[in-house]
Structure 1
């Protein structure tokens, strides 16, 4: 797997979610700058929204993976419902998020 070391040090159980998946992404911290509401995967926020970066978000429904590179590559971060005013507060100050993928229940 690209960007992974030779060992796994932790894991997380992701709850099943059925229904709509919605997330708002913001260009700047504290929900500033451009805002776009997403309901499906986005392989490049630069190409789709002309946004150079995503620095805060509000996950309204479902669970999402945010990737530091376009096309779902590089390091990733799991996001569950709730607000994130800035990724610096989560220890992710050096990361830029450029693509997002929904975590869906494959039994739908």
Structure 2
């Protein structure tokens, strides 16, 4: 599948633009700022700091003329494409860091870990299959974090020391 996103310096697709079809750790060589974008195909995570750091936002096919009207940050500095996954989804979530405390295995979306698993928090996880979005509030609200296959022993080490992850959603191939 072809991935294509175009970033613009100004709101409403104005100013200089930068076409991107893969991961980009830093837009500064191409744009002085980024305040709108168009996703032609595929799905992307965008970040408000270089090197895939800071606040994250999930972008699927569509137009995003003004980030501030969407309630998100105003300037994008890096992006990561999300590969399509058509297979099984599996993730183990843990109540404590280093895979400690209560553990539950998920294979589908969960709108509230408190309601489903009686877990008050998720501090680490192991993504075995698929790509996931984790949200700080139940019902897929609040800030989000992109999780690809791998072990995540401590979200605090990733810069999320005060975050509580309360809901999870699979990123399906419908981008």
Alpha-carbon separation, structure 1, partners of 2:111 and 2:74: 26
Identify, as 1 or 2, the structure richer in strand: 2
Q: Which has the larger radius of gyration?
A: 2
Question: Per-residue deviation at 1:106?
Answer: 1.9
Aligned to 2:119: 51
Alpha-carbon separation, structure 1, partners of 2:82 and 2:73: 22
Q: Which has the higher contact order (CA 8 A, sep 6+)?
A: 1
User: Structure 2: 5+ residue runs without aligned partners?
Assistant: 1-69
Paired residues, what number? 106
One of 65, 69, 79 as aligned partner of 2:137: 69
Question: Per-residue deviation at 1:18?
Answer: 1.1
Question: Per-residue deviation at 1:23?
Answer: 0.2
Question: Per-residue deviation at 1:26?
Answer: 0.2
User: Structure 1: 5+ residue runs without aligned partners?
Assistant: none
Aligned to 1:23: 91
Aligned to 1:60: 128
With normalisation by structure 2, the TM-score equals 0.58
Aligned to 2:168: 100
With normalisation by structure 1, the TM-score equals 0.92
Aligned to 1:80: 148
- Please tell me the root mean square deviation across aligned C-alpha atoms, in Å: 1.3
SS in 2 for 1:30: helix
